[in-house]
Amino acid sequence: MIDIQERLTAFAMLGATWVMWLLVFLSIIGVAIIFERIYYFFASRDDVRKLQEDLRLLLAKNDVAGARERLSQSESFQGKIVYSGIEVVDDGSEAVEERLAGATSVARTQMERNLGFLGTVGNNAPFVGLLGTVIGVIKAFHVLDEAAGKVTSGLMTEVGEALVATAIGLLVALPAVAFYNYFQRLIRYRLTWADALGRDLLAYLKGRERKGNS
């Protein structure tokens, strides 16, 4: 037990500096992911309302080839998902549904890439900063003990370092959480539109199948 306490004390004597550098390193990775995701989503944007209007118009004319061509021109995930479904339109609505479900799962995975890291940093950076604060306070008490209870500049430095660790943890967590939530909302928005476009295609196919059966 004494050996463990000595090891923990020795660990605390390292100070909170390494914790702050760890937080800075995590923030750099987080910022890189944020910019990469912003570019990724920006490059895959499209006017999905116009895409839906064009798709409905072409399907109303029974122009499946034109609808396929229109979807292939879209860089959006919505267009790519529905395009994967329209590729198997001759196999029936059930085949299209399965293809849409599979494409949606793949698109979700692609859009959520690296967002887990942002969520983890956002949730845990404050605790890492708190760890630095605890370590800094322990070291500050050690400095106070060595100074026989006198307040010295070294003591104030250790206390200040301990508080800064918590502040850095919060500063790292806030943008990570904010962008994580923003990206998740954007993903839900795009998948909702993909679902709407897919339902337009399925409605057309099921209507065509009913006419064929009658």
Of 22-26, 155-159, 204-208, 210-214, the range with the lowest mean pLDDT is 155-159
pTM for this prediction? 0.82
Of 119-128, 152-161, 168-177, the range with the lowest mean pLDDT is 152-161
CB atoms inside a 10 Å sphere around CB 202: 17
One DSSP character per residue, 143-193 reads: HHHHTTT---HHHHHHHHHHHHHHHHHHHHHHHHHHHHHHHHHHHHHHHHH
Q: Is the pLDDT of residue 15 over 90?
A: no
Instruction: Please report, for residues 82, 105, 143, the alpha-carbon distance to residue 187 in angstroms, rounded to integers and kept in the order given.
Output: 16, 12, 51
Domain map (residue ranges) of the chain: 2-207
Q: Which residues contact 18 (CB under 8 A, 6 or more apart)?
A: none
For the stretch 17-37, pLDDT in tens is 778 888 889 999 999 999 999
Closest CA to 22 of 168, 178, 180: 168
Please compute the mean of the pLDDT values over residues 38-50 and round it to a whole number: 92
In terms of C-beta density within 10 A (0-12 exposed, 13-18 middle, 19 or more buried), how is residue 144 classed? middle
Residue 166 banded pLDDT, cuts 50, 70, 90: confident
Please compute the mean of the pLDDT values over residues 169-180 and round it to a whole number: 93
User: Which range among 69-73, 90-94, 140-144, 182-186 has the greatest average pLDDT?
Assistant: 182-186
Please compute the mean of the pLDDT values over residues 102-114 and round it to a whole number: 94
How confident is the model at residue 131, as a pLDDT?
81
How confident is the model at residue 21, as a pLDDT?
85
